[in-house]
Structure 1
Amino acid sequence: MPAPERTIAAPTHRPFAARGRYRTARQLAPGLAVAALGAGLALGIAALVPGLSPLLAGIVLGLAARNFGLLPERLTAGLGVAARVPLRLGIVVLGLQLSLRDLASLGWGIPALVAAVVAVGIVATVGIGRALRVPPRQALLVACGFSVCGAAAVAGVESIVDADEEETVTAVALVVLFGTLMIPVLPLLADALGLAPHVAAVWAGASIHEVAQVVAAGGIIGGGALAVAVTVKLARVLMLAPVAAVLSWRRWRAGELAGAKRPAIVPLFVVGFLAMVVLRSVVPVPLEVLGAASWVQSFLLTTAMLALGASVRLRALLRRSGRTLALAASSTAVVAVVGLVGASLIA
Structure 2
Amino acid sequence: MVLRVSSRSVVRPLVPGLLVIAAATAIAFGVEGVLPALTASTVAVALGALLRSTGTFRSQWRPATGFASRRLLRIAVVLLGLQLPLAGIAALGFGGIALILGVVVVTFFGTQLIGRALGLPPARSLLVATGFSICGASAIAAVRPATDADDEDTSTAIALVTLCGTLAIVFLPLLRQPFGLDVQEFGAWAGASVHDVGQAVATGDRVPGALATVVVVKLSRVLLLAPLVALVALRRRRTVGADTAQRPPVLPFFVAAFVVAVAVRATGVVPDAVLGDAQRIQSILLVAALFALGTGIDVPHLVRTGGRSLVLGLSSWVLVAGIALAGVKLLHVG
Matched, 1:124 2:110: yes
CA–CA separation in structure 1 for the residues paired with 2:187 and 2:57? 42
Cα drift, residue 46 of structure 1: 1.7
> Aligned pair 1:225/2:210, yes or no?
yes
> 1:138 touches 1:167 (CA, 8 Å); kept in 2?
yes
Instruction: Pick which of 162-171 and 111-120 moved more.
Output: 162-171
Which residue in 2 is equivalent to 1:314?
299
Q: Is the 8 A contact 1:32 1:81 kept in 2?
A: no
- Equivalent pair of 1:165/1:312 in contact (CA under 8 Å): no
Give 1:314 shift.
Answer: 2.3
Hey, what does 2:169 align to over in structure 1?
A: 183
Task: Report the Cα distance in structure 2 between the residues aligned to 1:291 and 1:21, rounded to whole angstroms.
Answer: 32
Which amino acid in 2 is paired with 1:245? A
2: distance between equivalents of 1:311 and 1:321? 14
Q: How far apart are the structure 1 equivalents of 2:61 and 2:94?
A: 49
State the alpha-carbon separation in 1 of the partners of residues 280 and 244 from structure 2: 43
Give the SS at the match of 1:83. Answer: helix
Cα deviation for residue 263 of structure 1 reads 1.6
The alignment partner of 1:221 has SS state of coil
Deviation at 1:338, TM superposition (A): 1.4
Q: Give the stretch that moved more between structures: 176-185 or 320-329.
A: 176-185
Return 5+ residue gaps in structure 1 as ranges. Answer: 1-13
Separation in structure 2 between the aligned mates of residue 263 and residue 273 of structure 1, nearest angstrom = 17
Residue 258 of structure 1 is matched in structure 2 by 243
Deviations 1:73-105 (A, max 9, x none): 222122211110001000001111111001011
What is the alpha-carbon distance in structure 2 between the residues aligned to residue 316 and residue 305 of structure 1? 19
Alignment of 1:283-298 (within 5 A): 283-298=268-283
Q: Partner residue of 1:192? A: 178
- The residue matched to 1:266 in structure 2 has which SS? coil
TM-score normalised by length of structure 1: 0.89
Alignment of 1:28 onto 2:10: no
User: How far apart in 2 are the matches of 1:193 and 1:41?
Assistant: 36
Q: 2:231 aligns with which of 230, 246, 261?
A: 246
1:93 to 46, 57, 79: 79
Residue by residue over 1:258-317, the C-alpha shift from the partner in whole angstroms, topping out at 9 and shown as x without a partner, is 353422111111111111111111115333222211211111111111111113322322
For 1:159, the equivalent position in structure 2 comes to 145
Label 1:253 to 1:20 Cα distance change in 2 as closer, same or farther (>3 A): farther
Structure 1's 138 and 194: CA in aligned 2 closer, same or farther, altered over 3 A? same
One-letter code aligned to 1:172: I
Match of 1:270 among 252, 255, 261: 255
Tell me the CA shift for residue 343 of structure 1: 1.1
Give the Cα separation in 1 of the matches to 2:147 and 2:246. Answer: 14
Where 1:141 maps in the other structure, the secondary structure is: helix
In 2, Cα distance between the equivalents of 1:103 and 1:227?
12
Identify which range, 206-215 or 240-249, moves more after superposition: 206-215
Task: Report the residue type matching 1:311 in the other structure.
Answer: G
Q: Distance in 2 between matches of 1:313 and 1:200?
A: 35
Structure 2 unaligned residues grouped into runs of 5+? none
What is the rounded CA distance, in whole Å, between the counterparts of 1:30 and 1:164 in structure 2? 25
Superposition deviation, residue 18 in structure 1: 6.9
Separation (CA, whole Å) in 2 of partners of 1:119 and 1:60: 30
Match of 1:141 among 107, 112, 127: 127
Figure out how many residues of one structure are paired with residues of the other and give that number.
332
**In structure 2, C-alpha distance between the alignment counterparts of 1:33 and 1:122, rounded to whole Å:** 37
Deviation at 1:20, TM superposition (A): 5.2
- For the 8 Å contact 2:193–2:321, the answer to whether it is kept is yes
Greater C-alpha Rg: 1
Give the TM-score normalised by the residue count of structure 2.
0.92
Partner of 1:53: 39
| Residues 113-157 of structure 1 deviation map (CA, whole Å, 9 limit, x = unaligned) | 111111110111000110011221111111111111112112222
Aligned partners of 2:32 and 2:203: how far apart in 1? 17
Q: Which amino acid aligns with 2:194?
A: I
Measure the CA separation in 2 of the matches of 1:339 and 1:171: 21
Considering only aligned residues, what root-mean-square deviation do their CA atoms show, in Å?
A: 2.0
Query: Counterpart of 2:290?
Result: 305
Q: What residue number does 1:342 align with?
A: 327
The answer to whether the aligner puts 1:41 opposite 2:27 as a matched pair is yes
Letter in 1 for 2:308: R
Deviations, residues 146-170 of structure 1 (Å, cap 9, x unaligned): 1111121122222321322222122
